[in-house]
Amino acid sequence: MSIVCSRIPDAVRMVTEEKTIIMEKQGLCFSCEDAVISFAEQKEAMDIEFQAGNSEVRFLVLRWNGSWERKYQYMGDALERSYGNLEWMGLDAQRIMPWYFLASDGEANIGFGVKVRPNALCFWMCDAEGVTLWLDMRSGAMGVILSGRQMKLATIVQKESREGASAFRFAKDFCKSLCENPLLPKVPIYGSNNWYYAYGNSSHKDIMADTALLAELTEGIANRPYMVIDDCWQELALVKGAAGRPFYRGNERFPDMIGLAQEMKDTNVKPGIWVRLLESSEKFLPDSYRSLRTREALDPSAAGVLDLVAEDMERVTGWGYELVKHDFSTYDFSGEFYSGPLSFLKQKGWSLQDRSRTSAECLIEFYKTIYQHSNGAIIIGCNVIGHLAAGYMHLHRSGDDTSGNCFDRSVMMGVNTLAYRLPQHKAFFDIDADCVGITENIPWEENKRFLDLLANSGTPLFISADPKAVTEEMKKDLRIAFQKAAQQKDELLPMDWMTTTIPEEYLINGERKGYQWVSKLGLTSFSSL
């Protein structure tokens, strides 16, 4: 392998709001105008430091020249959740690979990445002549103005495996090298969520019916499950979908949030709750709290906003909820679902209120605030940038939504997420490949396969079951799955993940097992995309 990224780059460019500058190499540094980037080499790693004056810095672009000595396949990560689009591919010079990427030819494996919680958003690109790392320094969608501040941007890690090593096992080991302090649950997390059958149409009574079903399915299991109340309970949920603040009380269908949490506990089920912390329709919040991109979003860089986040977290956990699923923060921050990073990278014209800090810095502080004011609750991040939130959340809802209406969507999102994000499990956090949506719209023989895969994966298992659709046959299968999920001792390895986006062949505790995901008629519609 002739490309080494744990050494000083061959070239560095600085992209500002006005121009692109090729920085001049001076020993272990590159400099131009009022900016300097420096490097400290370690074994298989390298720290990157940066200092600038009043330049409006959008990107720093690091380039290492070299050649690929083998015919590799390449796999990158996703910026936040995956969207059914993770895969191994041949060399594509235009492919943008956030955070890290792996190269493998089935015998040799190489990993290039940055450690978790960098102070820039990081994207890799590789081509026949070398490797490029883009460091997104923007504050919102405009260049950061550091005013002389020096900051550590990232730590680059590069590792290689011995000949014949499994690409999947190498990926797991490589992810562990990127995170030194994961926040992991003390006991396995599993349970139910009401979203994929109710889709926001729920009530206190409905949640207690969900809770009673979950208690029945997990009777006798010492490690108790969580029943997560998703989007439906908020004050404005009846007039606005996915409503955020205010969180002072429930709506008319949820008149007693404290009492509901206690009723759930009395049923021997742990209560969980969904929140959207950076969205607000409140008319009387100061304008200084609001994003310069849209008035409906709060700006986490603005003075006072993280105090609101802390108060909201303390309030809902103070009501007795022992798990908090926070959602939509990436969308509210940038106005984008990051199904692909290109549109976000092209954004211009709006900034954070505090332009002295990068987007990555502000998002890390946001995630840290949530964790520090959670009163010991389990934290699940959904629509969250996992590489920035690692260490501040126990679970990452690692893919886009599965479905209670379309099994194809559960396959495309859930199975792809599980296979390709599984190397991050227990390395960054626990990964959550999302719920098995159990309704009358999906035949049980289809959902049962997805349930079985998740139960055997050693990762958190959540179902979303309409009590009216659950038969006695289903209950038998669900009890078996929950017995496994309460322990999460199984090891799952996708055997064919280098040749398909929805693996069908697996090793489960060393034994081969196959799953058929697509019906003999093919996909039923385009609704999975």
Interatomic CA distance for residues 270 and 258, integer angstroms? 13
pLDDT at 401: 97
pLDDT value at 270 more than 80 = yes
3 falls in which pLDDT band (50, 70, 90)? confident
pLDDT at 526: 67
Which is more confident, 522 or 353?
Answer: 353
Interatomic CA distance for residues 77 and 63, integer angstroms? 20
Query: Phi/psi at 439 (nearest 5 deg)?
Result: -140, 175
Domains in the chain with CATH codes:
11-177 (no CATH), 191-490 (3.20.20.70)
509 falls in which pLDDT band (50, 70, 90)? very high
pLDDT value at 69 more than 90 = no
For range 155-162, the mean pLDDT? 93
Question: Are 226 and 269 contacting, i.e. CB atoms less than 8 angstroms apart?
Answer: yes
- List the 88-89 sheet strands across, edge first: 24-26, 29-32, 35-42, 45-52, 150-160, 109-114, 100-104, 73-76, 88-89
In this predicted model, what pLDDT tens digit does every residue of 29-57 receive, in sequence order? 999 999 999 999 888 899 999 999 999 99
pLDDT value at 1 more than 90 = no
pLDDT at 521: 85
Interatomic CA distance for residues 386 and 46, integer angstroms? 22
Q: DSSP per residue over 424-459, as a string?
A: GBTTTBEEE---EEESTTS-HHHHHHHHHHHHTTTS
CA-based torsion, 409, 412, 415, 417: positive or negative? negative
In this predicted model, what pLDDT tens digit does every residue of 196-216 receive, in sequence order? 999 999 999 999 999 999 999
- Average pLDDT score over the chain: 96
How far, in Å, are 123, 221, 259, 405, 472 from residue 216 at the CA level? 46, 10, 21, 25, 12
Using DSSP, state whether 106 is helix, strand or coil. coil
511-514 and 505-508 strand pairing = antiparallel
Counting every residue written for the chain, the total comes to 529
Residue partners of 205: CB distance under 8 A and separation at least 6:
none
pLDDT at 527: 56
pLDDT value at 294 more than 60 = yes
In this predicted model, what pLDDT tens digit does every residue of 312-328 receive, in sequence order? 999 999 999 999 999 99
pLDDT at 2: 67
pLDDT at 6: 80
For range 268-285, the mean pLDDT? 95
Q: Can you give the C-alpha Rg of the chain in angstroms?
A: 23
How far, in Å, are 149, 233, 246, 312, 494 from residue 316 at the CA level? 37, 12, 11, 6, 39
